[in-house]
């Protein structure tokens, strides 16, 4: 089978490797679509993410969809849950599978991801897609799941004022979730003009350049500030833009992943406002909910995909995604993508 394996910084090599054989409780999946996530870009451009670095060549990709070959789901187009928690530890049993200390994750550490023709995966982590979904739709369910988990952690009330700082794919999904959940006003903050325009298309009331996030301007828009702020840029500058947008007592959700293993914020401002800063770690059991949101038309994942590349051009796809000239970049491997 064809495999795209990352050997180091910007060193993605296409090679022929043996087809995998499913083990007990696993299914063989012919991959159809793999979305490129911001964390994938960290691996590609920096050779790691946070405190994790490439220690051996690995196949990237954790936003996954494909068609099952054999077994109980034979022929079904499925979204692949990229996280394999142990299922037996205290955190798993309490419903916090995303916090499992021994979780294995597609395209991370030593577990190969989806940029290959075939992968084997636990059958119970394959989610059949509803009629009318494409494989690319299925791949975008993973970032939608991350956005939905962040939304759950926000404890936002109907009628809340919401700000989203950083409108890459997950930020744009949060804009849509805020609108679908009854936010009274959604404010997007984004330095790139085409992504500010996308935020407006997806339901933001206002899309500001970071330079426009001033105390006077925010007071005019929101009074005391926003009830909930999502920081999705993964930068200290993004955090510094998120805190002024928050009203006293607000929750600020740190969704973005920084390049280095440290984040900083204006402590005095956060303390005076009595802000609650919440870290967001991947997602929990979200696939059924995300599929319903998309099937009901409450969230548009298809329009988020701005470019698709074949596997042979995977390195070009990474370069395009790293340039951030579009929205979501997908690698298409087979039918249905």
Q: What is the pLDDT of residues 295-304, one digit of tens each?
A: 999 999 999 9
Q: What is the pLDDT of residues 80-134, one digit of tens each?
A: 999 999 999 999 999 999 999 999 999 988 899 999 999 999 999 999 999 999 9
Angle at 14 between CA 13 and CA 16, to 5 degrees: 130
Range of 10-14, 26-30, 110-114, 207-211 with top mean pLDDT:
26-30
pTM: 0.94
SS3 256: coil
Specify burial of residue 14 (Cβ count, 10 A radius: 0-12, 13-18, 19+).
Answer: middle
> 154-279 has which CATH code?
3.40.50.720
What is the per-residue pLDDT for 52? 75
At 25, list the tokens: 């409780």
Tokens 């849509």 found at: 176
Per domain, the residue ranges of the chain are 2-128+301-332, 154-279
CA distance 140 to 64: 8
H helix or E strand, kind and range, residue 273? helix 267-273
- Judged against a pLDDT cut of 50, whether residue 337 lies above it is answered with no
Angle at 44 between CA 65 and CA 285, to 5 degrees: 35
How do beta strands 63-69 and 77-80 pair? Answer: antiparallel
Mean local confidence (pLDDT), 26-32 = 97
- Judged against a pLDDT cut of 60, whether residue 11 lies above it is answered with yes
H helix or E strand, kind and range, residue 201? helix 193-201
SS3 288: helix
Q: Which residue has the higher pLDDT, 43 or 231?
A: 231
Greatest pairwise CA separation for the chain in angstroms: 61
> 2-128+301-332 has which CATH code?
3.90.180.10
CA distance 15 to 167: 35
- Judged against a pLDDT cut of 50, whether residue 25 lies above it is answered with yes
At 269, list the tokens: 């401002």
CA distance 3 to 12: 10
- Closest-CA residue to 190 (of 182, 174, 181): 174
CA distance 150 to 255: 7
- Domain pair 2-128+301-332 / 154-279, same fold: no
């Amino acid at each position: 089978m064809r495999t795209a394996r990352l050997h180091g910084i910007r060193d993605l090599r296409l090679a022929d490797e043996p087809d995998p054989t499913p083990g007990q409780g696993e299914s063989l999946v012919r991959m159809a679509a793999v979305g490129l996530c911001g964390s994938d870009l960290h691996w590609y451009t920096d050779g790691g993410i946070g405190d994790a670095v490439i220690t051996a060549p690995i196949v990237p990709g954790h936003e996954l969809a494909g068609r099952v070959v054999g077994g109980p789901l034979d022929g079904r187009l499925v979204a692949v849950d990229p996280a394999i928690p142990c299922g037996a530890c205290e955190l798993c049993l309490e419903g916090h599978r995303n916090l499992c200390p021994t979780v294995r994750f597609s395209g991370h550490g030593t577990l190969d991801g989806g940029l290959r023709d075939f992968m084997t995966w636990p059958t119970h982590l394959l989610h059949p897609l509803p009629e009318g979904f494409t494989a690319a739709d299925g791949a975008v369910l993973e970032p939608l799941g991350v956005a939905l988990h962040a939304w759950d952690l926000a404890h936002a009330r109907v009628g809340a004022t919401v700000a989203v700082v950083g409108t890459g794919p997950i930020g744009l999904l949060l804009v849509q979730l805020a609108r679908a959940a009854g936010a009274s006003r959604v404010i997007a903050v984004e330095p790139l003009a085409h992504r500010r325009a996308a935020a407006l298309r997806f339901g933001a009331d206002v899309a500001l350049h970071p330079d426009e996030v001033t105390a006077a301007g925010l007071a005019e828009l929101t009074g005391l500030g926003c009830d909930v702020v999502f920081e999705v840029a993964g930068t200290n500058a993004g955090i510094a833009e998120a805190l002024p947008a928050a009203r006293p007592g607000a929750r600020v959700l740190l969704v973005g992943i920084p390049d280095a293993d440290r984040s900083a914020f204006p402590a005095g401002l956060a303390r005076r406002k009595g802000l609650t800063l919440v870290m967001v770690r991947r997602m929990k059991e979200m696939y059924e909910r995300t599929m319903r949101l998309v099937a009901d038309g409450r969230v548009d994942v298809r329009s988020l995909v701005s470019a698709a590349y074949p596997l042979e051009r995977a390195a070009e796809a990474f370069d395009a995604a790293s340039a951030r000239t579009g929205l979501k970049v997908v690698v298409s491997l087979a039918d249905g993508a």
